[in-house]
Amino acid sequence: MPAKVGADKKQAHPVVGGAAAQRRLSQSHRGSTGDFRDDDQELGNMPATYMGEHNLFGRQDDQLKLTDTELNEEHTRILTARNPEAAENIVRFSHKERMFKLIPHVDQLAVHFQLDSNLVHKDSEDGKRQLVHDTEDQRIQETEVTTTAVDQDGEVKTKEGEEDDEEKAKKTTASTGKAKKLTNQFNFSERASQTYNNPSRDRETFVEQTPRATISDNVSQWSICDAYNEDFEQQQKAKEKEQKKVSVKKEDERKKKFVVADQHTVDDMTKFTRSKAASISLKILERMINQNTFDDIAQDFKYWEDAADEYREQEGSLLPLWLFQYSMVKKLACTNLTWNTHYNDLFAVAFGSYDFLKQSRGMFVIYSLKNPSFPENIFQTESGVMSLDFHPHYANLLCCGFYDGSVAVYNIADENKQPKYHSTSRNGKHTDPVWQVCWQKDDLDNNLNFYSVSSDGRVVCWTIVKNDLMYTDVVQLKLEKPASQSEEGIPLASLGCGTCFDFNKQQDYLFIVGTEEGKIHKCSKSYNNQFLDTFDAHHMAVYAVRWNKFHSKIFASCSADWTVKIWDINFKDPLFVYDLGSPVGDVVWAPYSSTVFAACTADGKVYVFDLNVNKYEPVCEQIVVQKKRTKLTHITLNQRYPILLAGDDRGNVISLKLSPNLRKKPKVKKGQEVAEGPEAEIAKLEKILSLIRDPDDIKSKSLGQQGTTTSITTN
């Protein structure tokens, strides 16, 4: 008994502190040392060795003992989404590639607890709906039970039947009292299916063994270098082909971007812009803008007069005005220039190439002084345009001569850019380039006709008859000495090469032809078998011959032998010879004076002569090209304005204004009337020529003419 009491005392001894101590003991299993130390303050003066001896809080013997500062220290931990226990080198077999492959991404999710629940809160809307649905099912079942019970009451019940009814009633009550299981509201379902694995198949083919050959060769440094060079060239060619393909694709894309919309989808604005009235109004707007842009040039064209001419009597100058450029003709040369006969501001420019090895396309454009920035009309041709001329009465008709020997007539007012008449090999086209064309008066049947000269030695008259272009050979330029003889000694007829011609302004049946041999032939439309006269004019090809616009017997010629010569048709020797130091491309007489003419050379200079002022030197000598090595090919003077056009071999046309000294009238004494008109111009030129002509030559020429007249009369 006493032992028992002692045991009870031992068990009761730790319960010191009442309820507070029990609370600490109940919470000691959590291992919360901090809480215990916080609550330890309530224990009062409990001895420190008490906890170590009794170990009330379940501390293990091998547990680390920490001080108060170590226990109160805070340790921060960072939680990451990476699972440290997840494997990093999982390898699985890939049935697709038939090999083991390392899985790059490993699932880092660790599920600690998962429970698929089918419970729904009864106060929620879904729970209320299910309760209402269950009560309706219970009512239906109760009605069924009551109906069966009424049927059984009408019959005689035995004890066995009663017992059966009681069992049935118990079953029904048990079934009705059982709660129905709620369904899952998240529509969760697990499904599994077994797929069919395609069977693997092995296919084998028998192939003939490739033949083998042993090749041996000695390789040197130069053979290796050649092989590398060939490979490099092939690579460069392949790159060029790829670049061409890319460029072609880009061009196609650009074309697709700028494809014109269909007529059905075109709005009113585009219809208006395509109309003729809109094009006219837009052209007027463009001219107005250009007039504002080039206002200073327009003022110079209208009002500028070189004040320096007052201090120099025998010299003049040329003022550059507009420069006509077009991007499509940069690689072509200006081959001819001509002013329109009705519109003084309109002129045509022909473009082609004089080089036989660089023949490609051709073009001629129509420019206006009112719009120097862009041509009025553009006509594309398959061959280079070598010559052109406007009809003197029909300003819309333009005849052209081409490098391939054909001639054509265009209507520049027509929207269709195709020629109205065109010569072919069937209707007598030339076999060499057509260097010059010129309209003439209508024939007796009032049919339009023009003439052409070519290097094949033919001067041809082309007549427009209804819709056809008929031709007639007027002159064949035969050489006096045959170029070669056959073995039998019979001379072979050879033709000269015509380069230029011009018809007399007063006697239209008379014309002169220049050739590549340097000769000038005097011809007539009535005689096609022989020349009326021949002049040994130059040592090289004659580039241009021009009749004086007032005097019917004076003409000028220029050549590649650097000279310009003035001739009288009745004399074999030239009246004036001017050496310009470079091949002379063109020469023209001024329309306002019988003594003024201009010439252009291959070194880019324009010369203006006035025989009435200075018979030996030019009145003006000026370089008009912008770049070196640019050759001037053709020049022309306006019929109304003091404007000179000069074309070069780079496709540019520059307009120049003549200063007052280049177009001044001769001085007249006081009280003397000023003679004007063609007769005064002829008298002025005759006065100059009388000072140069040899009197003996005049007498011999006049006697020869009398002898010829008498012989003709006697016959």
Q: Which pLDDT band, with edges at 50, 70 and 90, does 264 fall under?
A: very low
Mean pLDDT (whole number) for 354-373: 86
Q: What are phi and psi of 638, to 5 degrees?
A: -75, 150
Q: Which residue has the tokens 């009235």?
A: 277
Residue of 404, 399, 469, 475 whose CA lies nearest to 437? 399
Q: Which pLDDT band, with edges at 50, 70 and 90, does 211 fall under?
A: confident
Q: Which residue has the tokens 């049947």?
A: 445
Cα–Cα dist 566/562, whole Å: 14
Residues linked to residue 634 through DSSP beta bridges, in sequence order: 647
List pLDDT tens digits, range 512-536: 999 988 889 988 888 777 788 888 8
Q: Which pLDDT band, with edges at 50, 70 and 90, does 308 fall under?
A: confident
Q: What is the pLDDT of residue 20?
A: 42
Higher pLDDT, residue 248 or 576: 576
List pLDDT tens digits, range 432-484: 899 999 998 888 888 888 999 998 888 999 998 888 888 888 888 877 765 45
Has residue 713 got a pLDDT over 50?
Answer: no
- 3-state secondary structure at position 658: strand
Long-range contacts of 601-606 (CB under 8 A, 24+ apart): 601/562, 601/632, 602/631, 602/632, 603/631, 604/628, 604/630, 604/631, 604/632, 604/648, 605/580, 605/632, 606/318, 606/632, 606/635, 606/644, 606/646, 606/656
Cα–Cα dist 568/697, whole Å: 12
Higher pLDDT, residue 6 or 465: 465
Higher pLDDT, residue 451 or 39: 451
DSSP letters spanning 133-156: HHHHHHHHHHHHHHHHHHHHHTSP
Q: What is the pLDDT of residue 15?
A: 40
Three-class SS of 330-368 = CCCEEEEEEECCCCCCEEEEEEECCCHHHCCCEEEEEEE
Mean pLDDT (whole number) for 622-631: 84
Computed over its alpha carbons, how large is the radius of gyration of the chain? Answer: 58
**Where along the chain do its domains lie?**
277-481+492-666+675-700
Has residue 153 got a pLDDT over 60?
Answer: no
Q: What is the pLDDT of residue 76?
A: 87
Are 89 and 102 contacting, i.e. CB atoms less than 8 angstroms apart? yes
Residue of 135, 214, 149 whose CA lies nearest to 179? 135
Crossing angle of the two packed helices 276-293 and 295-303, in degrees rounded to 10: 80
Q: What is the pLDDT of residue 347?
A: 92
Length of the chain: 715
Q: State the average pLDDT for the chain.
A: 77
Q: Which CATH superfamily is domain 277-481+492-666+675-700 in?
A: YVTN repeat-like/Quinoprotein amine dehydrogenase (2.130.10.10)
Counting residues of the chain whose pLDDT is more than 70, the rounded percentage is 76
pTM for the structure as a whole: 0.58
Mean pLDDT (whole number) for 77-95: 84
Has residue 666 got a pLDDT over 70?
Answer: no
Q: What is the pLDDT of residue 488?
A: 53
Question: Which range has the worst mean pLDDT, 201-215, 318-332, 543-557?
Answer: 201-215
Q: What is the pLDDT of residue 41?
A: 43
